[in-house]
Amino acid sequence: MQERHLIVGLGNPGPRYRATRHNAGFMVVERLAAEAGLEWRSDHRFRSRLAAGRWQDRPVLLVEPLTYMNASGEAVGPLVRYYRTPLERLLVVVDDADLPLGRLRLRPGGSSGGHHGLESVERHLGTREFPRLRVGIGRRPEAGREITNHVLGVFSPAEREWLEPVLDRAVAQIGCWLTRGIAEAMNRYNGIVPILNRNEGNEA
């Protein structure tokens, strides 16, 4: 029997936050669920929305914690323990203001980079050694390190136009991770998503 992969998108629940930059992780797993035809259900035991099924013949459980971003680990930790998920089969998808809009960065582990959602997951798992996919949302240089209003703001129309192919490429990268492993998924998909009429080039 194939082991299930656990794919967690981080964000904040509720309509107030639905279209904000901080919810890029939710957007990725929702796009994945839609393409796989998976149905979401709320599970109060795990304080999460869950969508179970198969992606490219791999059993998956998609997760959106309902704990709010800074307490994401309170949902992820119990789920990992309940399903006895090996950490290499866990993927956490997050926004990243330190990456420019349109850049994807998959890594097998590493620092939280100050992301409070990742910090919470690391604290509840007791390790940093689990795969994470960062979705670049950029930042406004004039804001310095104070980015709360930026990450909790909605994507502009121009950003939203770019976001669509970014979400598609993130889903393709996750599919590659599921079927071919993290090394190939990193090599093939990390970098800037090429957008028509943009000058940014690809970068691995």
CATH number at residue 119: 3.40.50.1470
Q: Are 28 and 84 in contact (CB under 8 A)?
A: no
Q: Rounded to whole angstroms, how far apart are CA atoms 43 and 196?
A: 41
Query: For residue 151, what pLDDT is reported?
Result: 85
Q: Rounded to whole angstroms, how far apart are CA atoms 117 and 27?
A: 15
Query: For residue 200, what pLDDT is reported?
Result: 40
Would you say residue 145 has pLDDT above 60?
no
Question: pTM for this structure?
Answer: 0.91
Residue 26 is assigned to a structural domain of this protein: yes
Most confident of 56-60, 128-132, 148-152, 157-161: 128-132
Q: Rounded to whole angstroms, how far apart are CA atoms 173 and 155?
A: 22
Residue 199 is assigned to a structural domain of this protein: no
Q: Rounded to whole angstroms, how far apart are CA atoms 167 and 25?
A: 10
pLDDT in tens, 114-132: 899 999 999 999 999 999 9
Count of domains for the chain: 1
- What domain range includes position 142? 5-192
Query: For residue 1, what pLDDT is reported?
Result: 54
Query: For residue 144, what pLDDT is reported?
Result: 52
Q: What is the mean pLDDT of residues 70-76?
A: 98
Q: Residue 162 — pLDDT band, cuts 50, 70, 90? A: confident
Query: For residue 139, what pLDDT is reported?
Result: 77
Would you say residue 142 has pLDDT above 60?
no
Q: Are 83 and 61 in contact (CB under 8 A)?
A: yes
Q: Are 131 and 107 in contact (CB under 8 A)?
A: yes
**Both tokens assigned to 12:** 């904040």
Residue 202 is assigned to a structural domain of this protein: no
Q: Which residues are catalytic?
A: 22
Query: For residue 161, what pLDDT is reported?
Result: 84
Residue 174 is assigned to a structural domain of this protein: yes
Would you say residue 146 has pLDDT above 80?
no
Query: For residue 17, what pLDDT is reported?
Result: 94
Q: Rounded to whole angstroms, how far apart are CA atoms 35 and 140?
A: 32
User: What SS3 class is residue 75?
Assistant: helix
Q: Rounded to whole angstroms, how far apart are CA atoms 49 and 76?
A: 11
Neighbours of 95 (CB within 10 A): 26
Proportion of the chain above pLDDT 90, given as a percent: 76
Q: What is the mean pLDDT of residues 170-189?
A: 97
Closest to 36 (Cα-Cα) out of 19, 13, 12, 59? 59
DSSP state letter for 141:
G
Residue 28 is assigned to a structural domain of this protein: yes
List all residues 6 or more positions away from 202 whose beta carbon is below 8 Å from its beta carbon. Answer: 191, 192, 194
Q: Residue 173 — pLDDT band, cuts 50, 70, 90? A: very high
Q: How far is CA 1 from the centre of its chain?
A: 26
Residue 197 is assigned to a structural domain of this protein: no
- What's the Cα-to-Cα distance from 40 to each of 34, 48, 180, 191, rounded to whole Å? 10, 10, 26, 30
Residue 201 is assigned to a structural domain of this protein: no
Query: For residue 65, what pLDDT is reported?
Result: 98
Residue 139 is assigned to a structural domain of this protein: yes
Q: What is the mean pLDDT of residues 42-51?
A: 97
